[in-house]
Amino acid sequence: MVRPRILVVGSFVKDLIVSASRFSERGETVLGTGFRMATGGKGANQAVEAARVGARVTMVGKVGDDAFGRDLVGACEESGIDCSGVMVDPENPSSVGNVQLQVGEDGSTENRIIVVPGANMTITPEEIAFLETEIGQFDMVLLQLEIPMEINELVAEYASRKGVPVMLNTAPSDQVGEKLLSRLTYLSCNEHEALDLTGIAIRKTPEGVCEEDVRQVIARILEKGVQNVLVTLGTDGAAFGNKESFCLVPTLTDIHSVDPTGAGDAFIGAFCTFVSMGIDNTSAIRMANYVGSLTVSVMGAQTSLPTLEQVGQLISQRGEEDLCRLVEEVKQCVEEKGE
């Protein structure tokens, strides 16, 4: 087992989070029950989680020359992430996310999010050209869709030339070109993004999701040239497939969800770290499920992202001895091969 070097090229977003007992209707004003701010962005969230479960992480992205930008970069640096490749835009503001949380009487939550891209969408090919020579030092590259598509395509091209695996998280949902898809080692999507990618709706049954629908989604994406497909299914767990194998891994039960913000990012950051360490796909998903479950049990995005120690404690409490052994191996790897 080796401690991986992971490159995240992606977004920074300052989350402005409002809680209320219900979402407002059109033209209606609803009094909220709480407000707070948090550092986020799909790229930054995935980078922070990868670092917290053991990876050496480098983050490349762009923020505005403002207080939010300084907060966003500082939060990543506090998690040990190399942010020397983060750029500052003097003309455009840092991205902000309007997060609305509907909190039920039973404590259950739903969220609605609007992201204003700001500096995230001003990254240019010239600004990331340095990665063409540096990308070969990494064990995996993580991409999302909160930065310009041409930047994702260029980074994937650089990585492909050097034989570096690439994970694309297709969020927020957008059209992804065939050239980019053909260069992906991993693609991760949720069921809504899967529908946009394939036209196949994953139906629900009394027993859970329709496995045949999930298999069809994965097969359709594999046809586009992607090597491995990961479909996150919320409370129904996650599915993984490639040309040789398929698995549907259930989620954890009896987890009290406080705030789902950032759970998908946490899952992906952890999964990529674990598979980069040589852990098999199914075990990596099972471990990432614990990461996602811990994330939803705490308010906020990055503030809720768990450490490897916390993940190990929950796995131990659930008595999954094989995963306990893997966590101990990861800990030993990180300790032996730390900076």
Domain ranges of the chain: 5-12+41-95+119-336
Q: What is the pLDDT of residue 253?
A: 80
Residue from 139, 265, 280, 322 carrying the catalytic annotation: 265
Reading the chain (339 residues) residue by residue, the pLDDT tens digits are 889 999 999 999 998 989 999 999 999 999 999 998 989 999 999 999 999 999 999 999 999 999 999 999 999 999 999 999 999 999 999 999 998 989 888 877 788 888 899 999 999 999 999 999 999 999 999 999 999 999 999 999 999 999 999 999 999 888 899 999 999 999 999 999 999 999 999 999 888 899 999 999 999 999 999 999 999 998 889 999 999 999 999 988 888 777 777 889 999 999 999 999 999 999 999 999 999 999 888 776 788 899 999 999 999 999 999 999 999 999 999 988 665
Cis bond upstream, residue 117 (ω within 30): no
Q: What is the pLDDT of residue 308?
A: 95
Distance CA 259, CA 244 (A): 36
Distance CA 212, CA 286 (A): 21
Distance CA 76, CA 246 (A): 34
- Could you tell me what percentage of the chain is helix, strand and coil, using 3-state DSSP and rounding each to the nearest 5? 40, 25, 35
Q: Is 265 a catalytic residue?
A: yes
Q: What is the pLDDT of residue 338?
A: 62
List of residues 6+ apart from 69 with CB closer than 8 A:
12, 63, 88, 94, 119
Whose CA is closest to 3, among 330, 282, 283, 267? 330
List of residues 6+ apart from 172 with CB closer than 8 A:
115, 145, 146
pTM check: above 0.75: yes
Question: How far apart, in Å, are the Cα atoms of 323 and each of 8, 62, 227, 279?
Answer: 26, 37, 25, 10
Q: Write a three-state SS string for 268-318.
A: HHHHHHHHHCCCCHHHHHHHHHHHHHHHHCCCCCHHHCCCHHHHHHHHHHH
Q: In this structure, which topology does domain 5-12+41-95+119-336 adopt according to CATH?
A: UDP-N-acetylmuramoyl-L-alanine:D-glutamate ligase (3.40.1190)
Question: How far apart, in Å, are the Cα atoms of 51 and each of 62, 120, 202, 319?
Answer: 19, 21, 32, 25
